[in-house]
Structure 1
Amino acid sequence: MTSGLDDFLTLEVSNLDVDVLTGIYSEETHLPQPLRISIRARLKVADHYDPVTPLSRSKNYMDLKHAATGALPDGQHFTLIEAVADHIIDTIFLQDDKVRHVEVKIVKLALSERGEEIGITLGRWRK
């Protein structure tokens, strides 16, 4: 874990709209539901980033997008959106050992009646 004085780099991908098989009620379990997913990944920071620093000293933020889209298994039903967030976090940790912490926010768009955001945020530190 980091102290409050450690430098950090956070990569972010926000407001990805993804259809996922999720839910506990019978009307939810047979069709994908629209979810809005945002991801923040905190990385071990390089000593310094100069104009020619290679990508290997950071991380491609498109990997975060892939974890929330292409890396979700087709046809897999997730009872809880917490399990969707956990799967995304696990995928990002497997991608790169520089990732120290991942936070995933998921909003269930089908529950919104007046633009409110109803959902969860799950954060995990690498163990």
Structure 2
Amino acid sequence: MDSIFDDYLTLEVNDLHVDVLTGIYSEETHLPQPLRISIRAKLRIADHYDPDTPLSQSKNYMDLKHAASTALPEGLHFTLIEGVADHIIETIFLQDDKVRHVEVKIVKLALSERGEEIGITLGRGRK
């Protein structure tokens, strides 16, 4: 089990704005909804990061952005935003076996009336 003193590397992509077909109410189901998505991916790390350490010892941040945008199936309706988060997590796990844990936060921007953040955070460890 990981302890709070273990070494780790977390890659982050925050506040991506993505339009996704999601929702359970009739007014939500026919048009994409604006979501704000943030991702944190915890990786197995190298023993040390020297100035010339290759990217293969880490992960390309753009892979996280891809998982939350172009990797989402166009035209597929997700009933719950939890399904969107789960799809993003599975995509990141498939990309790279160094990824040990992924956390996805999704805020439904259309629900905000005064700047509040309404949504979910889903975290999953590699099984």
Shared fold per TM-score greater than 0.5: yes
Alpha-carbon distance between aligned partners in 1 of 2:4 and 2:27, rounded to the nearest angstrom: 45
Q: Are positions 1:115 and 2:108 aligned together?
A: no
Q: Are positions 1:30 and 2:30 aligned together?
A: yes
Identity within the alignment, %: 85
User: Residue in 2 aligned with 1:101?
Assistant: 101
Q: Compute the displacement of 1:6 (Å).
A: 1.3
User: Structure 2: 5+ residue runs without aligned partners?
Assistant: none
The 5 Å alignment of 1:1-127 reads 1-127=1-127
Q: Which amino acid aligns with 1:119?
A: G
Deviation per CA, 1:70-109, whole angstroms, max 9, x where unpaired?
0000000000000000000000000000000000000000
Q: Which amino acid aligns with 2:90?
A: D
Q: For 2:120, what is the secondary structure of its paired residue?
A: strand
TM-score (norm 1): 0.99
Q: Which amino acid aligns with 1:98?
A: K
TM-score (norm 2): 0.99
Q: For 2:94, what is the secondary structure of its paired residue?
A: helix
Alpha-carbon distance between aligned partners in 2 of 1:2 and 1:54, rounded to the nearest angstrom: 26
Q: CA RMSD in A?
A: 0.6
User: Structure 1: 5+ residue runs without aligned partners?
Assistant: none
Q: Which amino acid aligns with 2:47?
A: D
